Structure 1
Amino acid sequence: MKDLTILKPDDWHLHLREGIVLKNIIKFSSEFFGRAIVMPNTKNPITSINKCISYKKSISEGLPENSKFEPLMTIYLTDETIKDELIEGFKNDVFFAAKLYPANATTNSSQGVKKIENLYEIFEVMEELGMPLLIHGEVTDPKVDIFDREVVFIDKELLPLIQRFPKLKIVLEHITTSYAVSFVQENNLGATITPHHLHINRNAMFFGGLNSDFYCLPVAKRENNRIALRKAATSGKKCFFLGTDSAPHLRQWKAFCGCAGIFNSPVAIESYIQVFDEEDSLDQFEKFASLNGPNFYNLPVNKEKIRLVSKSNEIPKFIEVIDNNKVVGQIKPFHAGEILNWQVEGIVN
């Protein structure tokens, strides 16, 4: 039986939602991750210091007792973002980073940025502060094929942005294409890669008819892109790091309304390490999961370690959502009903 001990990982892209869902899912991230960057696209987006403080309080209240998990909070950028609010929030450690959603690009993004040029003054300030900019990199022009939206965004929006603000610390989130892999490496950016984009290509959305369980934004692409992502993640290169983009939806919304998002936090670490095992790159896993992210963000690595063992790990078909000791819903996890080959055994000294 193979085993691997690594420094505790961090999740550099996580959706925790709100209310009962948050209270039920936070344990899956807090148990074996040290930190996570929490996305601000809640139903009422996190656009101010007060909203951010309130949201972080609700996260902290949902954590298990004595948890060491640290949520790193973000501000949701809009065309009306107030410069002084952003500066004050960053300098007082309320905002760790700022998130750019092109308007209507994904879940709860209707209040996102309609024209990136409107925020050039904000980006100038962020560059001076050293405040990271996290980007959902897709255009929303209906004339652009959904499978091309990442590439078009890079050429049309991202390239001019980095040329104008060369010192701005930028992370291109949840990359999905070989084009993005090359662009990130050539332009000194950071990039998160999800477990689901390492396992599935766009065919997954059509197995057995339209299958919303594998629908996320940005959508999975062709097989050659999946292969490029696996090579990037397992390369050990410092620009690529772990970001689950775990995004839960209650079953009634996911199955019948086709909401975008894949809930992978219950199996994320096991899902990732299986890829590294399959690619004969277990020696690179700690870099991707535990070292590259802190290095990019100039943070210390976690001191605790986790141990993983290679053994049969059957993933439940559903995660129950409980309120007042009653089951009020279900969420389907990534790899539901499958058997993975790795399992997190626990935290070690």
Structure 2
Amino acid sequence: MQTLTITRPDDWHLHLRDGEALTTTVPDAARCFNRGIIMPNLVPPVVKAEQAAEYRERILAQLPAGSEWQPLMVIYLTDNTSADDIADIASSDFIKAVKYYPAGATTNSDSGVTDLAKTYTALEAMEKAGIPLLLHGEVTDADIDIFDREAVFIDRHLVGLRQRFPGLKMVLEHITTRQGAEFVAQGDVNLAATITPQHLLYNRNHMLVGGIRPHYYCLPILKRDVHQQALIRAATSDSGKFFLGTDSAPHTKNNKENACGCAGCYSNHAAIELYAEAFEQAGALDKLEGFASHYGPDFYGLPRNQSTITLARDPWQVADTAPLGNDTLVPLAAGQTLQWKLQS
């Protein structure tokens, strides 16, 4: 196979940041995707519908001429999110979900939820309105090993949430473990998961063996090979429960390469090529279209895209660095050769 044409994909988990960063992140997001679910963990976070509208306008101002890409906005769930806040979201035509971060779990999550019980009023309203809950599925207890935080979250919180709110659509985002893949696969129709390119292509050995490689550091953190293989099986299973979400998260080179480097991998410079790499390595290129282009909109109740993109077998080397607004970042797979390239 020398070319691969698929329905234009969407990115169901994306960090664009704000300000000057948008001059890089928005064009990169629009290069192959038609829509993107935009994470709300800015400083301050996007907690109200009007804030989402203002952020959306800043994003659209950086959209390349002629692009039809659309940002789908998300509200940040807090201990104080009210039923009225959910009503405001439900009346919007561009806010599509609410995001749960446990307080302190990842970048700019200090305003996150301290106790899930405090959000039940909001979750009940979301269940009635048909608004999905997007979950950063980790606990943050200091006594729980960082490599176990996703599995503990499932046992301690997600099982109960599914029982209490069976009609609430939930996306367990950027799953990283065998337990996560199995729980979603065995769950009901209102439970799905996104999977990132880094968790399909790499495991913790890539990050730690032979020296610390900070540009593979993300949260949830890369796990063992056995978990990576479970994610590959899930992504290539042709199940509508698993779909593309890059979790592309830009940080400057300096903020990654220091004594306390930030968590996040930037992948939107080559997102669909990275997924094609992973699917080809698994012998499952024929499954890429469903995962990348069909199952996300199906779960969100949105139409599948009508346009297509074409990838060609054309080996190319990812640049060592790339601009981030007026600064510099190191993209995922920097310096590596990818086998597939998006055709303009």
Q: TM-score, normalised by structure 2?
A: 0.97
* AA at the equivalent of 2:235: A
**C-alpha distance in 2 between matches for 1:321 and 1:131:** 32
5 Å-filtered alignment, 1:296-311, equals 296-311=299-314
Is 1:137 the counterpart of 2:137 in the alignment?
A: yes
- The alignment yields a C-alpha RMSD, in angstroms, of 1.0
**C-alpha distance in 2 between matches for 1:233 and 1:94:** 27
Hey, what does 2:221 align to over in structure 1?
219
**C-alpha distance in 2 between matches for 1:284 and 1:213:** 28
Hey, what does 2:249 align to over in structure 1?
247
- Unmatched 5+ stretches in structure 2: none
Hey, what does 1:330 align to over in structure 2?
328
5 Å-filtered alignment, 1:59-208, equals 59-188=59-188, 189-208=191-210
* AA at the equivalent of 1:192: T
Is 1:28 the counterpart of 2:28 in the alignment?
A: yes
**C-alpha distance in 2 between matches for 1:49 and 1:340:** 40
- Map Cα deviations across residues 88-122 of structure 1 (whole Å, 9 max, x no partner): 22222242100000000000000000000111111
**C-alpha distance in 1 between matches for 2:15 and 2:297:** 19
Secondary structure of the structure 2 residue equivalent to 1:217:
coil
**C-alpha distance in 2 between matches for 1:299 and 1:225:** 31
**C-alpha distance in 2 between matches for 1:88 and 1:128:** 14
CA contact (8 A) 2:17 2:42 kept: yes
CA contact (8 A) 1:79 1:113 kept: yes
* AA at the equivalent of 1:287: G
CA contact (8 A) 1:100 1:112 kept: yes
CA contact (8 A) 1:263 1:334 kept: yes
**C-alpha distance in 1 between matches for 2:321 and 2:167:** 44
- Map Cα deviations across residues 168-188 of structure 1 (whole Å, 9 max, x no partner): 100000000011101001112
Secondary structure of the structure 2 residue equivalent to 1:57:
helix
* AA at the equivalent of 1:232: A
CA contact (8 A) 1:6 1:306 kept: yes
CA contact (8 A) 1:137 1:150 kept: yes
**C-alpha distance in 1 between matches for 2:24 and 2:4:** 29
CA contact (8 A) 1:90 1:97 kept: no
Percent of counterpart pairs with the same letter? 46
CA contact (8 A) 2:154 2:180 kept: yes
**C-alpha distance in 2 between matches for 1:49 and 1:233:** 33
Secondary structure of the structure 1 residue equivalent to 2:5:
strand
Hey, what does 2:343 align to over in structure 1?
345
Equivalent pairs, count: 341
- Map Cα deviations across residues 151-196 of structure 1 (whole Å, 9 max, x no partner): 0000001100100111110000000001110100111211000000
- Map Cα deviations across residues 219-268 of structure 1 (whole Å, 9 max, x no partner): 01000000010111111110000000000001111111310000011111
* AA at the equivalent of 2:21: V
Is 1:268 the counterpart of 2:266 in the alignment?
A: no
CA contact (8 A) 1:16 1:38 kept: yes
CA contact (8 A) 1:138 1:218 kept: yes
CA contact (8 A) 2:103 2:110 kept: yes
Report which stretch shifted further, 147-156 or 25-34.
25-34
- Per-residue deviation, 1:274: 1.0
CA contact (8 A) 1:99 1:134 kept: yes
Secondary structure of the structure 1 residue equivalent to 2:297:
helix
- Unmatched 5+ stretches in structure 1: 323-327
CA contact (8 A) 1:250 1:331 kept: yes
**C-alpha distance in 1 between matches for 2:86 and 2:166:** 20
Report which stretch shifted further, 132-141 or 118-127.
118-127
Secondary structure of the structure 2 residue equivalent to 1:62:
coil
CA contact (8 A) 2:203 2:224 kept: yes
CA contact (8 A) 1:49 1:94 kept: no
Secondary structure of the structure 2 residue equivalent to 1:276:
helix
- Map Cα deviations across residues 65-85 of structure 1 (whole Å, 9 max, x no partner): 121001000000000112202
CA contact (8 A) 2:313 2:339 kept: yes
CA contact (8 A) 1:171 1:192 kept: yes
Hey, what does 1:325 align to over in structure 2?
none
Hey, what does 2:236 align to over in structure 1?
234
CA contact (8 A) 1:14 1:244 kept: yes
